[in-house]
């Protein structure tokens, strides 16, 4: 089996611009090298990347004393999954076990 999981939905909008100078003064998305050709502008970049939600949770935790939604346990799980994906890719897509805590 193969699973494709798009965790960072950066292709909500696709843009083709044939000439660099047509969008010279237009912000497209961070870390873009050229505005010519295909690009994937974000309708609301901050929201799509989760920045307001992350800050809201951080502030809420400070004000209420509750635990954050993403803690060190979640961080460990994410790193384990990403590492397993790299190992699987190195082995031509072979299924690998995800290390457990």
95/79 Cα distance (integer angstroms): 17
39/16 Cα distance (integer angstroms): 6
101 Cβ neighbours under 8 A, 6+ residues apart: 73, 76, 77, 80
What is the average pLDDT score of the chain?
Answer: 87
Question: What whole-number percentage of the chain has pLDDT above 70?
Answer: 90
The answer to whether the pTM exceeds 0.85 is no
| Confidence at residue 91, expressed as pLDDT on a 0 to 100 scale | 93
**Are 17 and 37 a contacting pair, CB within 8 Å?**
yes
42/27 Cα distance (integer angstroms): 10
Backbone angles phi, psi at 7, to 5 degrees: -70, -30
Helix %, strand %, coil % of the chain (to 5): 40, 5, 50
**For residue 6, what are its two tokens?**
């798009």
Lowest pLDDT segment from 46-50, 64-68, 89-93: 46-50
């Amino acid at each position: 089996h193969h699973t494709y999981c798009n965790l960072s939905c950066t292709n909500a909008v696709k843009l083709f611009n044939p000439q660099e100078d047509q969008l010279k003064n237009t912000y497209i998305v961070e870390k873009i090298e050229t505005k010519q050709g295909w690009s994937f502008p974000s309708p609301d970049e901050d929201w799509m990347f989760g920045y307001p939600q992350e800050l809201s949770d951080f502030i809420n935790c400070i004000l209420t004393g509750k635990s954050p939604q993403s803690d060190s346990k979640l961080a460990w799980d994410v790193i384990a999954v990403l590492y397993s994906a790299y190992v699987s890719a190195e082995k031509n897509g072979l299924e690998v076990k995800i290390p457990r805590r």
